[in-house]
Amino acid sequence: MQPGRNTPLASGTQVPLIGFGTWDITGDDVRPSVLRALEVGYRHIDTAWGYGNEAEIGAALRESGVPRDEVFLTSKIPPRRIGLEDQTLTGTLRDLGTDRIDLYLIHSFPTEQESPRLWEFLVDARDRGQAISIGVSNYTLEQIDDLAVSTGVPPDVNQIRWTPSLYDRQVAEGLSARCVVLEGFSALRKANLDEPVLLDIAGNHAVTPAQVILRWHIQHRFITLPRSTHRQRIAENFDVWGFELTDEEVARIDALGARGVAA
Ligand SMILES: NC(=O)c1ccc[n+]([C@@H]2O[C@H](COP(=O)([O-])OP(=O)(O)OC[C@H]3O[C@@H](n4cnc5c(N)ncnc54)[C@H](OP(=O)(O)O)[C@@H]3O)[C@@H](O)[C@H]2O)c1
């Protein structure tokens, strides 16, 4: 893994800051998309039991010839699989063709009673070596605190919807203060790619607004998970290492978030 392109989790594991998102990529679209992502340099793939594409991702990984150790794999267990946790994780590992997942997440907050119980399953999975790191998704800071208090084990990651217009400094700083890495999703889908500030900054660097958004994540050390099924865009979204936003540009992008500016 290349230094500068990764961020450490509290567990010590290094995670590539750009992962390939795979929600809604199914069937015949999976193989070419994943192969293309690996070809242009992604070494982090985000999937979930609920995406129904783990078997196709596993097949594409094997076909790519990229060694398993070089790819950071994330999957998630949804609350509706409570009671079927073992089968869910076993199925994920089987379909991906691996004996361990690099990051295993609770896909969304279940109930106050279920959250610590499901979390204990992830902790056990980590203790058994089936998951290297564990985390949550779509949790609030309060829900993370409750989990940490009730189980004594804070998550390594919180995967949440995140794009400049949703930038919330309190959430970013709150996660950082808890040593929980912020992993953003829907960075492009929830963005306005015609936003004048993004267009202006993109012009400064001869890149696209999508690349500006992804670069903004990297400079904040947020993980981001762009998804595309188009060869050119898959490459474009990973081609963000050759330019740097100025501090002023980062601040202008922060200010697109309703709560991005310090009070
Ligand atoms: N934990 C959760 O609850 C959760 C929820 C949602 C997503 N996620 C994860 O986060 C990943 C990313 O989020 P997302 O799937 O919502 O969307 P996204 O990556 O923000 O956006 C994907 C959309 O943007 C388009 N796009 C991609 N690259 C582009 C570019 N360079 N210029 C213009 N348009 C571009 C894609 O179209 P084309 O395919 O046509 O290029 C697609 O319509 C998911 O795939 C999934 O892995 C997690």
Q: Which of 70-79, 110-119, 227-236, 251-260 shows the lowest per-residue confidence on average (mean pLDDT)? A: 251-260
Share of the chain above pLDDT 90, in %: 96
Query: Mean pLDDT throughout 103-130?
Result: 98
Where would I find the beta strands (DSSP E) of 9-54? Answer: 14-16, 20-21, 44-46
pLDDT in tens, 29-84: 999 999 999 999 999 999 999 999 999 999 999 999 999 999 999 999 999 999 99
Report the C-alpha gap between 118 and 53 in whole angstroms: 23
Q: How far apart are CA 178 and CA 18, in angstroms?
A: 22
For position 29, what pLDDT does the model report? 98
d(CA 187, CA 177): 23
CA–CA–CA angle 54, 58, 60 (5° rounding): 115
pLDDT of residue 3: 61
**What is the spatial distance between Cα 214 and Cα 226, in angstroms, rounded to a whole number?**
8
Q: Which of 185, 193, 195, 211 to mutate to test the pocket of ligand 1 (most atoms within 8 A of CB)?
A: 185
* pLDDT at site 212: 98
Prediction pTM value: 0.97
Would you place residue 4 in the very low, low, confident or very high pLDDT band (cuts 50, 70, 90)?
confident
Instruction: Report the alpha-carbon angle 68-74-76, nearest 5.
Output: 140
State both tokens at 221.
Answer: 């050390």
Residue nearest to atom 42 of ligand 1 (CA): 228
Distance between Cα 248 and ligand 1 center (Å): 27
- Return d(Cα 202, Cα 253) in angstroms, integer: 11
- 224 CA to centre of ligand 1 in angstroms: 10
Residue 181: other Cβ atoms inside 10 A: 24
Q: 52, 26 in Cβ contact below 8 A?
A: yes
Segment 115-142 mean pLDDT: 98
Extract the tokens encoding 64. Answer: 């790519």
Which has the higher per-residue pLDDT, 260 or 167? Answer: 167
Which residue has the CA at smallest separation from atom 47 of ligand 1?
Answer: 21
pLDDT at position 136 is: 98
Looking at ligand 1, which atom is closest to the CA of residue 237?
31
Q: How far is the CA of 20 from the centre of ligand 1 (A)?
A: 9
If we measure between CA atoms, which residue out of 210, 262, 215, 251 comes closest to residue 232?
210
Hey, which residues are catalytic here?
51
CA of 152 to the centre of ligand 1 (A): 34
Stated as kind and residue range, the H or E segment containing 87 is: helix 85-96
Beta carbons of 95 and 55 less than 8 angstroms apart: yes
More reliable by pLDDT, 259 or 158: 158
* Calpha distance 209→154 (Å, rounded): 35
> In sequence order, what are the residues at sequence separation of 6 or more whose Cβ sits closer than 8 angstroms to the Cβ of residue 152?
none
Q: Model confidence at 258, in pLDDT bands (50, 70, 90)?
A: confident
Residue located nearest, by CA, to atom 43 of ligand 1:
189
d(CA 19, CA 57): 14
Distance CA 158, CA 148 (A): 13
Mean pLDDT over all residues of the chain? Answer: 96
Tell which residue, 16, 18, 15, 20, has the closest CA to residue 227: 20
The predicted structure's pLDDT at residue 2: 62
**What pLDDT digit, counting tens, does each position of 163-193 carry?**
999 999 999 999 999 999 999 999 999 999 9
Residue nearest to atom 23 of ligand 1 (CA): 189
